[in-house]
């Protein structure tokens, strides 16, 4: 099956939340038919690798089929959290956009469901 | 059953944090008044303001130390004055945690405001018990936190208390309920408990109302605020984004909408993002009122700007309250200088090397704003792995903390000295020195935290 490789933000959107030194990032499919490939490709291991420079002590993934969403919980990635970190973005508010950079493969027949500008042919 | 025929309860949220827009309440109250006028007999409406984040309360406690009449939400007057008289005239009751570290002073301020507006004196209740200041409670905290607590300059210690005292105050006739540290969703659960007469162990309805409260508690964040991403997530009228209204049914299910005549949007996508915001295990969202479970939750659009949340389940509430202890933790020093034009990034990197050498002894964080900053980490692993990208407009930022003010102050002086002693063409130095507050959390048995309400006015 032919496919294209696109950044995750073409197939999903998300938001980051924080509590202490723990970040949670939602990944929500733009369309129900895109959800299965997200579950298959955006695994706990892939997400841990994307954040390896932050050395998470644990990465958990929760799958929510009713919402066509996943919730990732990353421990110890905020340099101590909002009161401790020296980051300008001590909450890690921008981290969803780091996760949404992940490359994913989308089969041809699902490409019309992707968000954003149409690919140039 | 009469209860199943009751019209939905309307709860509008006009603030999602301390510092939120103070012009949100006007359109919200206009909308609630219009809905009450058009709605079925017996419909009721509440207005809530959520204004407490983790550190907000400690900052409020510091203000109270300096002035015994201070310590509540500094924007209280701006938030409430434009709508207070109309709320009282139309039977819209108000529940908020804007009491922060001094709910009684906030209540006095509101009573004064009502007098100045020529409104009839409102029945105002304060909810107390969240502040853990007694010797017995401090001893219990020491037991929980151990030696970590010794020697800490504690600023505040508060339990996240729940909806029951809010509901009790409303049952007793309060028109305005002023709280300190209650869990954010409890601002919604309290009114719903009181209105529908729910029991404190009816976990399903409490969980549903809790998630309604969770969707409301960040204000515009469920209405297209904090959502827009041009070309991907376009939001109309973001400059006048609306604030949310939950319509809560007698069985707890809720439909989220927003104030009339405002910008923004309420879609399945905006609701999903907010539903999962600051959630860890979706099957166990812990609050003092209930453990809510959204593992099987669904959202469904009901026409324009209306989304129904269903499938929320509930489990018995935790036996303990979450407690945050806030303490003074030294000084945060930050400094910035900009470089632009040819080899700007190379000059900024050289300036960083100079600072690292001059400030040995401080654990320095280095960011190159315009090349790599907030995706960077305190230890600088990401920056070290990123070669000079040739950026031509870069702002160097350095930051460090130290227990000693004089040590922390060295950072600002060294950044300033880059004007004459650093690389060519640096400009726009700014530096700040800020006292730091830090937080530790623990759990405390509910029995150790007696909560109560008291009618304080008129």
Residues of A in contact with B280 (CB under 8 A): 19, 22, 24, 60, 71, 73
Is A120 a member of any domain? no
pLDDT reported for residue B3? 46
Mean pLDDT within B390-397: 98
Is A19 a member of any domain? yes
Residue B45, classified by CB atoms within 10 Å of its CB into exposed (0-12), middle (13-18) or buried (19+), is buried
Is A114 a member of any domain? no
Query: Which of helix, strand or coil describes residue B271?
Result: helix
Report whether pLDDT(B114) > 60. yes
Mean pLDDT within B218-245: 97
Q: How far is A38 from chain B (nearest CA, A)?
A: 16
Q: B269, A13: Cβ pair inside 8 Å?
A: yes
Is A112 a member of any domain? no
pLDDT reported for residue A119? 57
User: Which helix or strand (DSSP H or E) is residue B106 part of?
Assistant: helix B103-116
Q: CB within 8 A of B320, min separation 6: which ones?
A: B443, B444, B445, B446
- Round to whole Å and give the CA distance between B368 and B397: 6
| Token reading at B239 | 């400059």
Q: CB within 8 A of B404, min separation 6: which ones?
A: B330, B331
Which of A62 and A121 is assigned the larger pLDDT?
A62
Q: A19, B278: Cβ pair inside 8 Å?
A: yes
Q: A69, B272: Cβ pair inside 8 Å?
A: yes
pLDDT reported for residue B1? 43
Is A116 a member of any domain? no
**Interface contact B332, partner A, CB < 8 A:** yes
The domains found in chain B, sorted by start residue, are 3-132+158-320+447-457 (no CATH), 325-441 (3.30.70.100)
Residue B161, classified by CB atoms within 10 Å of its CB into exposed (0-12), middle (13-18) or buried (19+), is buried
Binding-face residues of A in 20-79 toward B, CB within 8 A: 20, 22, 24, 26, 28, 30, 53-54, 60, 62, 64, 66-67, 69, 71, 73, 79
Is A121 a member of any domain? no
pLDDT tens per residue, range B433-458: 999 999 999 999 999 999 999 999 77
Report whether pLDDT(B4) > 70. no
The pTM of the full predicted model, rounded to 2 decimals, is: 0.96
pLDDT tens per residue, range A32-73: 999 999 999 999 999 999 999 999 999 999 999 999 999 999
Percent helix, percent strand, percent coil in chain B, to nearest 5: 35, 25, 40
CA–CA distances in Å: residue B88 to residues B92, B275, B327: 6, 31, 39
Mean pLDDT within B73-88: 98
pLDDT band for B309, please (50, 70, 90 cuts): very high
Mean pLDDT within B191-217: 98
Mean pLDDT within B243-267: 98
Residue with tokens 């269903």: B310
- Round to whole Å and give the CA distance between B341 and B193: 62
pLDDT band for A120, please (50, 70, 90 cuts): low
Cα diameter, chain B: 81
pLDDT reported for residue A118? 65
pLDDT band for B96, please (50, 70, 90 cuts): very high
Full DSSP string of B166-189: HHHHHHTT-SEEE-SSB-TTHHHH
Name the residue among B233, B299, B311 with its Cβ closest to that of A13. B233
Q: A24, B299: Cβ pair inside 8 Å?
A: no
Q: How far is A71 from chain B (nearest CA, A)?
A: 7
CATH number of the structural domain spanning residue A85 = 3.30.70
Report whether pLDDT(B281) > 50. yes
Q: Is the ipTM of this complex over 0.90?
A: yes
How wide is the angle at C-alpha A58 spanned by C-alphas A70 and B325, nearest 5°?
Answer: 100
pLDDT band for B419, please (50, 70, 90 cuts): very high
Chain A residue nearest residue B230, CA to CA: A116
Residues of A in contact with B275 (CB under 8 A): 67
How many whole angstroms from its chain centre is CA B188? Answer: 14
- Round to whole Å and give the CA distance between B96 and B184: 9
User: Contact at 8 Å (CB) between B215 and B271?
Assistant: yes
Report whether pLDDT(A20) > 70. yes
- Round to whole Å and give the CA distance between B412 and B334: 7
Residues of A in contact with B272 (CB under 8 A): 26, 28, 67, 69
User: Contact at 8 Å (CB) between B453 and B349?
Assistant: no
Q: B374, A116: Cβ pair inside 8 Å?
A: no
Is A119 a member of any domain? no
pLDDT reported for residue B458? 77
Report whether pLDDT(B2) > 60. no
Q: How far is A20 from chain B (nearest CA, A)?
A: 8
B252: left (phi over 0), alpha (psi -120 to 50) or beta: left
User: Which helix or strand (DSSP H or E) is residue B395 part of?
Assistant: strand B393-402
Which of B368 and B147 is assigned the larger pLDDT?
B368
pLDDT band for A28, please (50, 70, 90 cuts): very high
Residue with tokens 């919200």: B28
Q: Closest Cα partner for B283 from B251, B312, B252?
A: B312
Mean pLDDT within B91-108: 98
> Poorest-confidence range of A81-95, B158-172, B198-212?
A81-95
Q: B329, A83: Cβ pair inside 8 Å?
A: yes
Chain A residue nearest residue B374, CA to CA: A89
Is A63 a member of any domain? yes
Count: domains in chain A: 1
The percentage of residues in chain B with a pLDDT greater than 90, rounded to a whole number, is 96
> Domain range holding A48?
3-107
**Interface contact B297, partner A, CB < 8 A:** yes
């Amino acid at each position: 099956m032919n496919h294209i490789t696109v950044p995750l933000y073409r197939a999903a959107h998300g938001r980051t939340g924080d509590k202490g030194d723990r970040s949670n990032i939602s990944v929500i499919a733009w369309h129900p038919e895109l959800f299965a490939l997200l579950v298959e490709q955006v695994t706990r291991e892939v997400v841990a690798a994307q954040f390896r420079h932050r050395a998470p002590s644990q990465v958990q993934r929760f799958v929510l089929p009713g919402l066509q969403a996943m919730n990732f919980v990353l421990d110890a990635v905020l340099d101590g959290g909002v009161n401790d970190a020296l980051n300008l973005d001590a909450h890690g508010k921008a981290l969803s956009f780091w996760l949404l950079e992940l490359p994913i493969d989308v089969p041809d027949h699902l490409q019309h469901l992707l968000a954003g500008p149409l690919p140039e042919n | 059953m009469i209860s199943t025929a009751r019209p939905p309860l309307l709860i509008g949220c006009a603030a999602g944090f301390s510092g939120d827009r103070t012009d949100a309440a006007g359109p919200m109250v206009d909308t609630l008044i219009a809905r009450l006028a058009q709605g079925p007999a017996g419909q009721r409406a509440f207005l809530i303001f959520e204004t407490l984040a983790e550190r907000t309360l400690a900052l409020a406690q510091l203000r109270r130390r300096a002035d015994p009449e201070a310590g509540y939400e500094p924007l209280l007057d701006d938030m409430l004055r434009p709508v207070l008289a109309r709320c009282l005239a139309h039977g819209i009751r108000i529940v908020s945690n804007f009491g922060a570290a001094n709910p009684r002073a906030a209540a006095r301020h509101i009573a004064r405001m009502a007098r100045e507006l020529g409104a009839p004196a409102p029945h105002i209740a304060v909810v107390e018990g969240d502040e853990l200041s007694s010797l017995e409670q401090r001893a219990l905290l020491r037991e929980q936190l151990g030696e970590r607590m010794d020697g800490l300059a504690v600023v505040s210690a508060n339990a996240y208390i729940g909806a029951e005292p809010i509901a009790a105050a409303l049952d007793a006739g309060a028109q305005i309920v002023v709280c300190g540290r209650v869990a954010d969703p409890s601002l919604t659960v309290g009114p719903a408990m009181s209105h529908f007469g729910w029991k404190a162990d009816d976990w399903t309805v409490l969980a549903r109302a809790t998630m309604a409260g969770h969707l409301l508690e960040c204000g515009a964040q469920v209405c297209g605020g904090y959502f827009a991403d041009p070309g991907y997530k376009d939001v109309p009228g973001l400059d006048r984004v609306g604030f949310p209204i939950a319509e809560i049914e007698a069985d707890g299910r809720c439909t989220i909408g927003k104030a009339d005549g405002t910008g923004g949007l309420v879609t399945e996508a905006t609701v999903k993002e907010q539903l999962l915001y600051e959630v860890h295990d979706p099957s166990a969202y812990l609050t003092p009122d209930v453990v809510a479970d959204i593992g099987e939750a669904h959202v469904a659009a009901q026409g324009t700007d209306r989304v129904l949340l269903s499938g929320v389940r509930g489990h018995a509430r935790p036996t303990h309250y979450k407690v945050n202890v806030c303490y003074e933790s030294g000084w945060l020093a930050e400094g910035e200088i900009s470089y632009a034009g040819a080899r700007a990034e190379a000059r900024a990197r050289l300036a960083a090397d100079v600072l690292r050498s001059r400030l040995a002894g401080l654990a320095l964080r280095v960011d190159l704003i315009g090349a790599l900053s907030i995706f960077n980490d305190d230890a600088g692993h990401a920056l070290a792995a990123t070669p000079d990208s040739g950026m031509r407009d870069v702002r160097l930022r350095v930051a460090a903390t130290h227990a000693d003010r004089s040590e922390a102050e060295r950072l600002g002086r060294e950044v300033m000295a880059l004007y004459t002693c650093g690389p060519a063409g640096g400009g726009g130095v700014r530096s700040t020195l800020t006292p730091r507050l830090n937080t530790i959390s623990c759990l405390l048995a509910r029995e150790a935290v007696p909560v109560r309400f008291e009618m304080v006015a008129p």
